[in-house]
Structure 1
Amino acid sequence: MDEDQVQPESSSSIPQLDFSRIADEPRETVSMFVGCEGGHKDLFTEIQTPPTEDWEMPFTDLEMAVFRHLRVSPSQLHPNSLAFLPAFKVTANYLGIVPTLKLFFHAFGIQRSCPKGEKAKGKAPKGEKDPTKHGWVSFKQRNELFKMFEDSVRGFKAKYFRVRPVTVNGWKSIVYRGPKKDDGGNVVMGPQGIPVEEDYAKFSFRWNKWHFLIEPKEFTYKRTNLS
Structure 2
Amino acid sequence: MGRSSDPPHFYMYHYFFRDLGVCLPFTQFECDFLNYVNSAPCQLHPNSWGFLRAFQVLCTVLGIKVSLPVFLHFYQLKLGVLPYGISSLSGSRDGGLFTLYSQSYKNFKQ
Question: Hey, what does 1:139 align to over in structure 2?
Answer: 89
Change (3 A) 1:92 1:153: same
Change (3 A) 1:33 1:58: same
| Equivalent residue in structure 1 for 2:60, among 93, 98, 104 | 93
RMSD (Å), alpha carbons: 2.9
Kindly name which structure, 1 or 2, has the bigger radius of gyration based on alpha carbons.
1
Provide the TM-score with structure 2 as the length reference: 0.67
Aligned length: 92
Instruction: Report how far residue 156 of structure 1 moved.
Output: 1.7
In 2, Cα distance between equivalents of 1:140 and 1:91: 18
Higher relative contact order (CA closer than 8 Å, sequence separation 6+)? 1
Structure 2 unpaired stretches of 5+: 8-12, 15-22
Change (3 A) 1:92 1:113: same
Instruction: For residue 83 of structure 1, give the secondary structure of its aligned residue in structure 2.
Output: helix
Residue identity over aligned pairs, in percent, reads 33
Structure 1 unpaired stretches of 5+: 1-30, 35-42, 45-55, 121-133, 159-227
In 2, Cα distance between equivalents of 1:92 and 1:69: 20
Provide the TM-score with structure 1 as the length reference: 0.35
Confirm whether residue 59 of structure 1 aligns to residue 26 of structure 2: yes
Instruction: Report how far residue 73 of structure 1 moved.
Output: 0.2
Query: Pairwise mapping of residues 21-170 of structure 1 onto structure 2 (< 5 A)?
Result: 32-34=5-7, 57-114=24-81, 135-142=85-92, 143-149=95-101, 151-158=103-110
**Aligned letter for 2:35?**
R
More helix per residue: 2
Change (3 A) 1:104 1:156: same
